[in-house]
Amino acid sequence: MTCYIAADHAGFTLKQQILAAYPNMINLGTNSLDSVDYPDFAQKLADRIQKDDFGILICGSGLGICMAANRFKHVRAANCISIEMAKLAREHNDANVLCLPGRVLSVAEALAIVEVFLITLFSKEPRYQKRIDKMLLF
């Protein structure tokens, strides 16, 4: 399993702090506070992520980068602002990309959410798998 991380300028600081805690993540940028467009970084991550990989994307609200990431058929991105949301995103939706709001969460909150997202397994309960399969038909 590989974990990629990317952010726009609004998520840069939080991305750097997550990388400090998880130095084995692969950093796809941005690497400064200079203004950039979040769809570019969602695409960079989507282009790299494979089966059994995870991704973390960060923008100011987590919303825009999540919308951009979900344009890719193999990405199931979830914008999570709590541990419970991260847990459910993995257990029920088999989310493979965690989106975070860089302007909303504290570093401690974000790190706790990342930890839960990375360790929680998809439940593989048939009702959840059936729903995920339906999304692949769109």
| pLDDT tens profile 5-59 | 999 999 999 999 999 999 999 999 999 999 999 999 999 999 999 999 999 999 9
Question: Strand, helix or coil at 86?
Answer: helix
* Number of neighbours of residue 130 by Cβ within 10 angstroms: 9
Annotation marks residue 92 as catalytic: yes
Per CATH, domain 3-135 is 3.40.50.10470: no
Q: Which of 3, 9, 74, 92 is catalytic?
A: 92
For the residues 62-83, what does the mean pLDDT come to? Answer: 97
Helix axes 126-135, 83-93, angle to 10 degrees: 80
Given this model, what pLDDT does residue 135 score? 85
The candidate with the shortest Cα–Cα distance to 102, out of 26, 6, 4, is: 6
CA atoms of 6 and 15, how far apart (whole Å): 7
Q: Where in the chain are the domains?
A: 3-135
Q: Which of 59, 66, 80, 99 is catalytic?
A: 59
Given this model, what pLDDT does residue 136 score? 81
